[in-house]
A = this chain, B = another copy of it.
């Protein structure tokens, strides 16, 4: 493997992404079991090429890890503490293991570059979990969808980044109507409600919830969905504006 081309990336600037998915009535996040250290977990992230926009970098990283294009994503905060990386115990692990992993690719200069100070731009993404086929990045042992109630301790400030991303999602879910990006093309009202309940971790009353959502006038009602259950068949809905991308 040839040397990592640090010269093509902006130094000291990175991006991490909180990739949200929704499955089995729970909100999940795609996190990575890291190749270095013991039981290390990280958020998927990457560097920014000198020739791409920061949003372009986010789109590229998302494409690499999920296989998807046209993902809804949004930057929510910058993490710029001067000691978020340098001086952190895990950084010593990286300094040690990176060259061992591939001495040619991560020579001393590259290792120093990667273990120096970084300002990190936090993005969050909303994906239809069924459409994603997670693909490992260079440093990923494996990628896992984990419920937001079951997030392990992660490396550096990644738990804080996730927390901030979730907070931002909660603030935006209602006003920007972005939640439908987490659902498949068609869905029942119950499913929308369960999604909202998963995100906000609280219950809603079905009748009021339905009225609120329908009053938004963003859904079109399709045919009924017969499940074989001995009860009234629910309607299927579809989001009117098909795919929502914000840039």
Spell out A's residues near B (CB within 8 Å).
10-13, 48, 50-56, 75, 77-78, 80-82, 117, 119, 121
Contacts and interface: CB of A to CB of B under 8 A. Distances in A.
A101 to B, nearest CB: 27
A157 to B, nearest CB: 12
Given A75-B77, A77-B75, A82 B51 contact: yes
Contact of A48 (B51, B55, B77, B80): B80
A138 to B, nearest CB: 23
How many copies of this kind of chain does the complex include?
2
Contacts of A78: 54, 75, 78, 121
Nearest to A57: B80
Q: Which of A12, A52, A117 has the most CB of B within 10 A?
A: A12
Contacts of A82: 50-53, 56
Contact of A13 (B53, B55, B75, B119): B119
Contacts of A119: 10, 13, 48, 54
Contacts of A50: 12, 82, 117
Contacts of A55: 80
Nearest to A83: B53
B80 A53 contact: yes
A12 B11 CA distance: 8
